[in-house]
Amino acid sequence: MKILKFTPLLMSVVWGGEKIAPYKGLKTEQDHIGESWELSGVPGKETLVSKGEYKGRSVSSLVKEFKGTLVGEKVYANTGDEFPLLIKFIDAQADLSIQVHPDDKLAAARHNGSKGKTEMWYVVGAGEGAHLLAGLTKSITPEEYASKVEDGSITEVLARYEVKPGDVFFLPAGRIHAICGGCFIAEIQQTSDITYRIYDYGRLGLDGKPRQLHTEEAKDAIDYTVYPDYRTAYTPKKDAAVEVVSCPYFTTSVLDLDKPFEEDLSGLDSFVVVMCLSGAARVATEEGEVSVRQGETLLVPASAQRLSVQPEGSVKLLTSCIR
């Protein structure tokens, strides 16, 4: 099975910016573009193959037809016909709401068997003063949480991080977080669109109405554990795969390449998602090669036995699989 490329879904949101379309080389009159869903099997928001033999097919229909050949035998046994990851670029011109996501157990109980949402951020770009909120700085009780939401002081107990390109944050389900204005993010997450909006600064949505808050739902979803640091540490390295996050839901690595790169996939038993963060390259398996450039995302099927990357000058990629 050959490498697949999909047409992204562009989402207009109240906090959206102006970077996604030019970053991806797209021409669009759509306003407030805040998210580009690169690869999605979320029902009703599924991405379609953009070219080749399967042009116009959704990723979900391909999983249903090709099963382990596309996603891996162990992956298919665990997640069935659902493509297990949701891949996005996020451009925040203004602060996103402060939010939290439920874990698998809570999501299944509340949302008809849905999955929870564990995710990660890779900072692609950051404007002056750009920052993120992730995790608690002090121990609070669920009752104190609710009180702080009510009086608007919830931000006072959240860890704030000034960010720069290359920063990584891992966000297990239950961790309070917010992307703030000036951040351009690559996001890898479980296939779930369940978000509990905790606090939204009193602003209105694109429809001119206040956006719904989920204060009570979030109370039981939050992990109130306090950690010393919520930023993910790693050591960058040229021309090698540097693993930055590994969890049961995905393993993500950074490839910063000036030279050809090759990886043996024969023992992986998983698909590989390739996000191009900058530059361009030719990406190949034994079934053929495709070009990829900044802002594009590829899906390498689990049937591939090897993956090779030929940079056109230099290229920076994120790769994600399930180990």
Q: Which pLDDT score is estimated for 32?
A: 86
Q: Which pLDDT score is estimated for 123?
A: 98
Do 251 and 227 fall within a single domain?
A: no
Do 153 and 275 fall within a single domain?
A: no
The enclosing H or E element of 36 equals: strand 33-39
Q: Could you give the percent of the chain with pLDDT greater than 90?
A: 88
Q: Which residues are CB-contacts of 189 (< 8 A; sequence separation ≥ 6)?
A: 85, 86, 88, 117, 118, 119, 120
Do 75 and 140 fall within a single domain?
A: yes
- Tell me: pLDDT of 148 over 90: yes
Cα–chain-centroid distance for residue 273?
A: 11
Do 75 and 96 fall within a single domain?
A: yes
Q: What mean pLDDT do residues 171-177 have?
A: 97
What's the mean pLDDT when you consider all of the chain?
95
Rg (Cα) of the chain, in Å, rounded? 19
Which residues on adjacent β-strands are paired with residue 306? 264
Domain boundary among 178, 207, 232: 232
Domain boundary among 232, 265, 287: 232
Q: Which SS3 state, helix, strand or coil, does residue 90 take?
A: strand
Do 280 and 315 fall within a single domain?
A: yes
19-46 in b/e form (b: 16+ CB < 10 A) is bbbebbeeeeeeebbbbbbbbbbbeeeb
Which residues on adjacent β-strands are paired with residue 242? 254
Domain boundary among 232, 255, 270: 232
- Count how many domains the chain has: 2
Residue bearing tokens 């890898």: 188
- Tell me: pLDDT of 286 over 80: yes
DSSP label of 32: S
Q: Which pLDDT score is estimated for 211?
A: 81
Do 147 and 250 fall within a single domain?
A: no
Do 83 and 120 fall within a single domain?
A: yes
Measure Cα distances from 129 to 30, 32, 132, 160 in Å: 27, 21, 10, 11
Per-residue confidence band for 238, with pLDDT thresholds at 50, 70 and 90: very high
Per residue in 58-107, pLDDT tens? 999 999 999 999 999 999 999 999 999 999 999 999 999 999 999 999 99
Q: Could you give the percent of the chain with pLDDT greater than 70?
A: 100
Q: What mean pLDDT do residues 9-32 have?
A: 89
Per-residue confidence band for 27, with pLDDT thresholds at 50, 70 and 90: confident
How long a stretch of residues is the chain? 323
Per residue in 176-214, pLDDT tens? 999 999 999 999 999 998 999 998 887 877 788 878 889
Residue bearing tokens 């009510």: 150
Q: What mean pLDDT do residues 158-164 have?
A: 97
Instruction: State which residues form the domain around 151.
Output: 4-232
Q: What mean pLDDT do residues 120-141 have?
A: 96
Q: Where do the DSSP E strands lie in 163-302? A: 168-171, 177-179, 183-190, 196-199, 231-232, 241-246, 251-257, 261-264, 272-285, 288-293, 297-300
Do 40 and 166 fall within a single domain?
A: yes
* CATH number for 307: 2.60.120.10
Q: Which residues are CB-contacts of 48 (< 8 A; sequence separation ≥ 6)?
A: 6, 7, 55, 56, 57, 58, 59
Q: Which pLDDT score is estimated for 18?
A: 86
Q: What mean pLDDT do residues 247-268 have?
A: 97
Q: Which pLDDT score is estimated for 203?
A: 81
Do 113 and 134 fall within a single domain?
A: yes
